[in-house]
Amino acid sequence: MDQRVRAAIDFMNANLHRKITPIEIAQAVRLSPSHLRYLFRSETDTSVARYLKELRLQRAKHLLETTFMSVKEIAATVGLTSVPHFVSDFEKAYGVTPARYAQRYRKTTP
C-alpha cells in the first residue's frame, strides 16, 4: 500500500474522536485533496469519506461490545454529532441498531 495512503489511514484512526475533513486528511499527508482522492481510491477501492465512516462504525461496534457507554456517548466518541444518523448508518452496516447490538454484550448476571 502506498505510504501516503497508509499515513492517511493512520491519521484517520488517530482522529476518529473529532470531526475531520478529507481536506484536513490531505493536508496531514501533504497531498492535494484531489491527489489523495485518486491515490486512496486506487489503493482501497473506496473513497476517503466512506473509509472514514467505516472506521468510525467499526470503532463504535467495538465500544458497544466492550463498554457500557450510551449510544449517544459512543457516537460522540467516534466523532459523530448526529445520533439518528449514526443509528441509521450502524443499522445499514450491521443489520441491527446500536442499542440492540449492545444488548448482546451487556448481559448482567442475575
Block residue for cell numbers 497531498? 31
Contact 28, 8 (CB under 8 A): yes
Domain count, the chain: 1
- Residue 109 has a pLDDT of 43
- Residue 110 has a pLDDT of 47
Distance in angstroms between the alpha carbons of the first and the last residue of the chain: 49
Residue-level pLDDT, tens digit, the chain, 110 residues: 889 999 999 999 999 999 899 999 999 999 999 999 999 999 999 999 999 999 999 999 999 999 999 999 999 999 998 999 999 999 999 999 999 999 888 765 44
For residue 27, tell me if it sits in a domain. yes
For residue 14, tell me if it sits in a domain. yes
- Residue 40 has a pLDDT of 95
- Residue 108 has a pLDDT of 55
For residue 75, tell me if it sits in a domain. yes
For residue 51, tell me if it sits in a domain. yes
Residue 14's domain comprises: 3-105
- As given in the structure block, the three cell numbers for residue 3 are 505510504
For residue 85, tell me if it sits in a domain. yes
Buried b (16+ CB within 10 A) or exposed e, 85-99: ebbebbeeebeeebe
For residue 110, tell me if it sits in a domain. no
pTM value is 0.87
For residue 21, tell me if it sits in a domain. yes
Q: How many CA atoms lie within 13 A of 67 on its CB side?
A: 14
Distance of CA 80 to the CA centre of its chain: 9
For residue 62, tell me if it sits in a domain. yes
Residue 46: which CATH number?
A: 1.10.10.60
CA separation for the pair 66, 68 (Å, rounded): 7
